[in-house]
């Protein structure tokens, strides 16, 4: 109903807007997961560190706090590499001159 015209007027498509919203939600979720990991570590430090009990909380807190940072970093690097290689074939793309489409011999031309 004219949504294409509205999208062209704003300069952003619905697909791109949804993609941006998904990235924002993922960023918020990873930030909250890092916060939970930090709270687990702080709670263990305040309550259980003097007795060195409940040691399972330390690796859990480290995993929860560090994993989202690594995932966001690798996602960022992947986006940067894919945007820099526009037109360059990646290892996952088929090669134009594969065995299905052999280059014709000079003798057959």
How many domains is the chain built from? Answer: 1
Averaged pLDDT for residues 5-28: 76
The sign one gets for the Cα dihedral 77, 78, 82, 85 is positive
Residue pLDDT, tens place only, 61-84: 999 999 998 988 887 788 778 777
What is the extent of the structural domain holding 49?
29-82
**Percent of all residues in the chain with a pLDDT value above 70, rounded to a whole number:** 67
- The verdict on residue 40 lying in a domain is yes
Residue pLDDT, tens place only, 29-43: 999 999 999 999 999
Give the side-chain half-sphere CA count within 13 A for 34.
Answer: 13
Q: Cα 66 to the chain's mean position, in Å? A: 15
- State how far the Cα of 54 lies from the Cα of 43, in Å rounded to an integer: 11
- The verdict on residue 41 lying in a domain is yes
- The verdict on residue 52 lying in a domain is yes
- The verdict on residue 100 lying in a domain is no
Q: Which residue has the higher pLDDT, 56 or 78?
A: 56
- The verdict on residue 38 lying in a domain is yes
- The verdict on residue 45 lying in a domain is yes
The sign one gets for the Cα dihedral 75, 79, 80, 81 is positive
């Amino acid at each position: 109903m004219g949504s294409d015209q509205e999208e062209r007027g704003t300069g952003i498509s619905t697909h791109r807007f949804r993609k941006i919203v998904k990235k924002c939600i993922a960023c918020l979720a990873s930030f909250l997961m890092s916060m939970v990991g930090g709270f687990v570590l702080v709670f263990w430090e305040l309550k259980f560190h003097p007795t060195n009990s409940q040691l399972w909380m330390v690796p859990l807190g480290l995993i929860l706090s560090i994993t989202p940072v690594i995932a966001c970093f690798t996602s960022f690097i992947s986006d940067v590499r894919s945007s820099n290689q526009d037109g360059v074939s990646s290892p996952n793309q088929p090669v134009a001159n594969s065995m299905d489409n052999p280059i014709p011999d000079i003798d057959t031309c």
